[in-house]
């Protein structure tokens, strides 16, 4: 068994001293695994990401990462009126490794174009970011993370609200990234989709469960994760989490 790319041990923390937004998270993700992070809004998905990114003001427990993770936020968090093209946004993935006094390397420009091609947006490289569709914008933000070339990618609801072609492209890309030996942590509300990935982490202010989808995604665990926000259909094999978007 290879060493995990992400590992946490009793990870807890929050935004103010004495108030934990998330407690007791212990999990490990290996190379080639996609981990679905399930939970209601306010359940701790974003808090977990901020803890892994080293941005959580109050953090206890252990976090081990194979390298600096790349983060893909929800597309509506990015400014639509900002004067940048899709290529400019993808290039931002190279900013962290470029000293302020250096121009961006030619190799970084090539990497940004290649990343856009990978997400199917080579032709839109010169388009203004704010003029793209929601799904295309999401793919540009994923391209930016690809340019970072990180072993671990944290994706915040990347498939929520995107058009079908974009969703298909993103899911295919997840498979490619798995094949490259990266680990992906994907916050999602889609329980059915979570079943198709390798691991599931259920959060509701604390860790409810972690493991294989078949073992974790039981009606009891989903009920504990989502509470009143969950609708379980039929024999319990299909569950729908009711989405409430935060504004």
Partner 1 sequence: MLSDPITRRALFEVLILALALGPLGVWVLLHRQAYAAESMSHGLLPGLVLAALAGVPLVLGAAGGALLAAGAIALAARDERIRADLGVAVAVSALFGLGALLALAPEAPPRLEELLFGDLLGISGADLLAAAGLALAVCAALAAAHRPLALTAFDRGAAHALGARALHWETVLLVLLGVGTVAAAPGLGSLLLVALVIAPAAAALRVTRRLAPALALAAAIAAGAGFGGLALSYYADLAAGASVAMCAVAAPILTRLAT
Residues engaged in binding partner 1 (CB under 8 A): 53-55, 68-73, 77-79, 82-85, 88-89, 92-93, 95-98, 100-101, 128, 141, 144, 148, 154
Q: Structure tokens of 50? A: 């901020």
Q: How far is the CB of 177 from partner 1 (least distance, A)?
A: 17
For the chain, counts of helices (H) and of strands (E): 8, 11
| Residue 186 or 208 with smaller CB distance to partner 1 | 186
Residue 220 CA to residue 235 CA, distance in Å, equals 13
| Residue 162 or 202 with smaller CB distance to partner 1 | 162
DSSP helix/strand/coil, 222: helix
Torsion of CA 156, 28, 12, 67, to 10 degrees: -70
DSSP 100: T
Residue 227 CA to residue 225 CA, distance in Å, equals 6
What residues have CB less than 8 Å from 46, skipping those under 6 apart?
Answer: 156, 187
Q: How far is CA 185 from each of CA 36, 81, 87, 237, 240, rounded to the nearest angstrom?
A: 6, 29, 25, 23, 20
Q: How far is the CB of 24 from partner 1 (least distance, A)?
A: 24
| Residue 177 or 216 with smaller CB distance to partner 1 | 177
Q: Nearest to residue 150, comparing CAs of 53, 75, 217, 62? A: 53
Q: How far is the CB of 9 from partner 1 (least distance, A)?
A: 22
| Residue 148 or 166 with smaller CB distance to partner 1 | 148
| Residue 25 or 150 with smaller CB distance to partner 1 | 150
Q: How far is the CB of 215 from partner 1 (least distance, A)?
A: 31
Q: How far is the CB of 12 from partner 1 (least distance, A)?
A: 20
Q: How far is the CB of 90 from partner 1 (least distance, A)?
A: 12
| Residue 1 or 101 with smaller CB distance to partner 1 | 101
């Amino acid at each position: 068994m290879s060493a995990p790319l992400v590992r946490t041990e009793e990870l807890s923390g929050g935004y103010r001293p004495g108030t934990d937004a998330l407690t007791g998270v212990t999990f490990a993700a290996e190379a080639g695994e996609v981990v679905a992070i399930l939970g209601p809004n306010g359940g701790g998905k974003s808090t977990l990401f901020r803890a892994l990114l080293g941005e959580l003001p109050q953090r206890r427990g252990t976090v081990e990462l194979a390298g600096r993770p790349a983060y893909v936020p929800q597309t509506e968090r990015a400014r639509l009126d900002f004067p940048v093209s899709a290529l400019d946004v993808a290039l931002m993935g190279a900013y962290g490794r470029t000293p302020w006094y250096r121009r961006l390397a030619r190799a970084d420009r090539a990497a940004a174009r290649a990343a856009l091609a990978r997400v199917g947006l080579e032709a839109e490289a010169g388009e203004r970011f704010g003029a793209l569709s929601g799904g295309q914008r999401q793919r540009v933000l994923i391209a930016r993370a690809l340019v970072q070339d990180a072993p671990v990618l944290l994706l915040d609801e990347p498939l929520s609200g995107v058009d079908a072609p974009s969703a298909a492209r993103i899911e295919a890309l997840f498979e490619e990234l798995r094949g490259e030996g990266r680990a992906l942590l994907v916050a999602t509300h889609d329980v059915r989709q979570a079943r198709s990935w390798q691991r599931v982490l259920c959060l509701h202010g604390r860790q409810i469960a972690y493991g294989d989808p078949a073992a974790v995604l039981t009606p009891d665990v989903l009920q504990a994760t989502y509470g009143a926000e969950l609708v379980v259909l039929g024999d319990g094999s299909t569950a729908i989490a009711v989405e409430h978007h935060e504004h």
